[in-house]
Chains A and B, each alone.
Chain A
Amino acid sequence: MVMPIVNVSAKILLFATLRDKYGVRELEVKCDGTVRNLLENAAKTLNKGFLARIYDISRNKVREDIIFTINGRNIKDIKGEIGIKDGDRVAIFPPLAGG
């Protein structure tokens, strides 16, 4: 098995019920530059359920109900390839709204 190359580090921030559930406000995570690997590595610190909550492994994409932002931009709004760069700030929110 070929291990992914770990070459970038990003800060993951959790909010609202995700913060409650995983007991962490923020963590630094190394990864190979893909969202999936970032979350897989975060799950090693948090727990296995974290990956499944945030990422739909069968469809290889972030779950539809999760608000996943990189440097404040929702990945649903980012045109082109989505990747994690060194020093990125990844903020993850459960479904929420108000007013």
Chain B
Amino acid sequence: MAGGYVGKILKVDLTTKNVSTEPIDEGVAKKYLGGKGYAVYLLYQYIKEYELKGLSPKDIDPLGPENVLIFATGPGTGVPRFPSPGRYHVMALKAPLTGSIGSGNAGGKWGTSLKNSGFDGIVLEGVSDTPVYLAIVDGKAEIRDAGDLWGRNIFDTTRVLTSVVGGKNTSVTCIGPAGENLVPMAVIMNDEHRAAGRAGLGAIMGSKKLKAIVVSGDQKVSVANPEEFKDVADRCLDALKKNPVTGEGLPTYGTAVLVNIINNVGALPYKNWQTGVNPDAESISGETLSEKYLIRKNMCWACTIGCGRVTNVKSGPFQILASEGPEYESIWALGSSTGVKDLDAVVKANHYCDELGLDTISSGSTIAAAMELNEKGYIPEEDLQGLDLKFGNASAMVEAVWRTAYKVGFGKYLALGSKKLCESYGHAELSMSVKGLEMPAYDPRAVKGIGLNYATSNRGGCHVTGYTIAPEVAGIPEKLDPLATEGKALWVKIFQDFTSTVNSTINCLFDTFALGAKDYGELLSAVTGWDISEDEILKIGERIYNLERVIINRLGFDGKDDTLPTRLLKEPMPEGPAKGQVADLEKMKEEYYKLRGWVNGIPTPGKLRELEIEV
């Protein structure tokens, strides 16, 4: 087996409790690397198998036994001195919030520990009839009873299982009450505060009655060309250290440093995206977080950036002795989008999301949508059951979070997610989502390229599919005018392709602020022993993105779903630097499809042949 891989995938059928091992297919690995790419390949094999059996992918119940959940590492994961290599990727055939493909990526140390336990990835099929957890220790996997753990929160579950399983490099990924209660915004949390979030991956684990996966062991990952790798890794780590973003900005302030600059360009969505200018941004900014809440910094396994924040709220109704975060998107969703300017409340709500296993972006956005529905008089008072959901009400926002996780009171409506919530009250237009997934913290009326990325992201409204904020706002690798549309389609495509490779490598997307495709080619060539050029890095990413697109086409998505909420397309930005602007999607989308070789959001047979995708 090539360097960087352990060489084995664990396959678990939770219905039959059968556990087996399959070798990594080197041919597949060369085409799709690992992580997201390898998982997308495996998911497509399930699509073909189901279709042969007469089961249409459109009919798969995301919370049923046919759904498949995959945890995957890549050849860079767990390799010491590989830049930020502690990550893993989670993919699902169908996400409960969207009905599209499920995809999430998390840091911490669990990805490395999975390899230490003796496996590159885990494929989960079926559903258990009783709560269980999976323990993988030194290459052996066991399905164990989790009856005593069911109902426990993320922190308790993690600490109990770390102690019970013991061993070396032990790490836990698990669900909390939100996942158990099948909330479609539930996440999978590892190492207490790291989330594989978005679109309800945690609810899929909940539906399978799988409380946790504990991994432990001391299996080392070999590198094909150690001398070559040392040279390349040293150069890349030095570049990360010297880069002002990865060497100073992120370590000093974390991602929350974005609050002020995104507000400054008029792109910080406020009060459910009614405007892009938040008059209270300073009170929830990264600078304020550092000044008043930061205890110390934290970092994922072997990371040299260290953007994590350990924080507390010293006193008052939202007191917390110690938590992690909140990072930028969470501050925005729970603070700016809800009009809450009390950072104590935002830190508390973020902590609840981690404790109960909820996606901060979707939770905050859904609460914000409910606030607008309520302020416009669309929610009957009896539905709210005393919850005063008004913009800026900090205590109501915090209460709404835990009510969502437990589906208590109005929480059972919030737990639908913003799309179904707004549809149920007859105002679908107030859900700020794409393909049912709530969008993150950048308004496409003020930053045009990110709007095209949101619209064409396979998993739905997502920023990390193709983070064009880097060039459009930060000027990395070069400055683009955020209000221009010309040329943005190509940037979006390249960012989406490159990110697909990064998520299959796997290392942290933040490394790409300092490292480019050439660096990734050299790193992966040294680790695997294969010859991977800069062009091949982008081609692998394009292949992954197209096969993922083929899957969502089979799930029923096409060009009509590559769109944005009406508010962004029709309602001009009311104030700020982007005053009068709308999202300008259609022209960019037409150019994007041409560059992609897609017709109506569907890859052409010629494009698939060009990318050597067998369908």
Chain A interfacial positions (CB closer than 8 Å to B): 15-17, 19, 65, 67, 69, 71-74, 76-77, 91, 93-99
Residue B306 CB within 8 A of the other chain: no
Please measure, in the bound complex, the distance between the C-alpha atom of A96 and the C-alpha atom of B305, giving whole angstroms: 13
Which of A15, A19, A72 is in CB contact (< 8 Å) with B576?
A72
Query: A98 touching B254 by the CB < 8 A rule?
Result: yes
Interface pairs (8), CB distance under 8 Å: A16-B286, A17-B253, A96-B253, A97-B476, A98-B249, A98-B254, A98-B307, A99-B469
Residue B147 CB within 8 A of the other chain: no
Please measure, in the bound complex, the distance between the C-alpha atom of A15 and the C-alpha atom of B513, giving whole angstroms: 20
Query: A74 touching B286 by the CB < 8 A rule?
Result: no
Residue B392 CB within 8 A of the other chain: no
Query: B244 touching A67 by the CB < 8 A rule?
Result: no
Q: When each residue 238-258 of chain B gets 1 if its CB lies under 8 Å from chain A and 0 otherwise, what string results?
A: 000000110011101111111
Residue B532 CB within 8 A of the other chain: no
Residue of B nearest to A26 (CB): B282
A88 → B minimal CB distance (Å): 12
The residues of A that contact B151 with a CB separation of less than 8 Å are none
Query: B244 touching A95 by the CB < 8 A rule?
Result: yes
Query: B265 touching A96 by the CB < 8 A rule?
Result: no
The residues of A that contact B328 with a CB separation of less than 8 Å are 98-99
Query: A99 touching B475 by the CB < 8 A rule?
Result: no
B325 → A minimal CB distance (Å): 12
Residue B260 CB within 8 A of the other chain: yes
Which of A72, A74, A98 is in CB contact (< 8 Å) with B475?
A74
14 new A-B contacts, CB < 8 A, other than A15-B287, A98-B254, are A16-B252, A16-B260, A17-B252, A65-B244, A67-B474, A69-B264, A72-B266, A77-B479, A95-B244, A95-B474, A96-B250, A96-B257, A96-B261, A99-B328
Query: A97 touching B576 by the CB < 8 A rule?
Result: no
Residue of A nearest to B246 (CB): A97
Which of A16, A65, A72 is in CB contact (< 8 Å) with B265?
A72
The residues of B that contact A96 with a CB separation of less than 8 Å are 244-245, 249-250, 253, 257-258, 261, 474
Q: When each residue 251-286 of chain B gets 1 if its CB lies under 8 Å from chain A and 0 otherwise, what string results?
A: 011111110110011100000000000000000001
Known contacts A16-B286, A19-B287, A94 near B265 by CB under 8 Å: no
Please measure, in the bound complex, the distance between the C-alpha atom of A8 and the C-alpha atom of B513, giving whole angstroms: 38
Main secondary structure of the interface of B (DSSP, over half): helix
Query: A76 touching B509 by the CB < 8 A rule?
Result: no
Residue of A nearest to B476 (CB): A97
The 8 closest A-B pairs by CB, nearest first: A72-B577, A98-B255, A95-B244, A77-B481, A97-B474, A96-B249, A76-B479, A98-B258
Query: B249 touching A97 by the CB < 8 A rule?
Result: yes
Residue B491 CB within 8 A of the other chain: no
The residues of B that contact A93 with a CB separation of less than 8 Å are 260-261, 264
Please measure, in the bound complex, the distance between the C-alpha atom of A69 and the C-alpha atom of B482, giving whole angstroms: 13
Residue of B256, B307, B474 with most partner-chain A CB within 10 A: B474
Query: A71 touching B470 by the CB < 8 A rule?
Result: no
The residues of A that contact B255 with a CB separation of less than 8 Å are 98-99
Residue B467 CB within 8 A of the other chain: yes
Query: A71 touching B577 by the CB < 8 A rule?
Result: yes
A23 → B minimal CB distance (Å): 13
Residue of B257, B328, B469 with most partner-chain A CB within 10 A: B257
Q: When each residue 467-507 of chain B gets 1 if its CB lies under 8 Å from chain A and 0 otherwise, what string results?
A: 10110011110010111100000000000000000000000
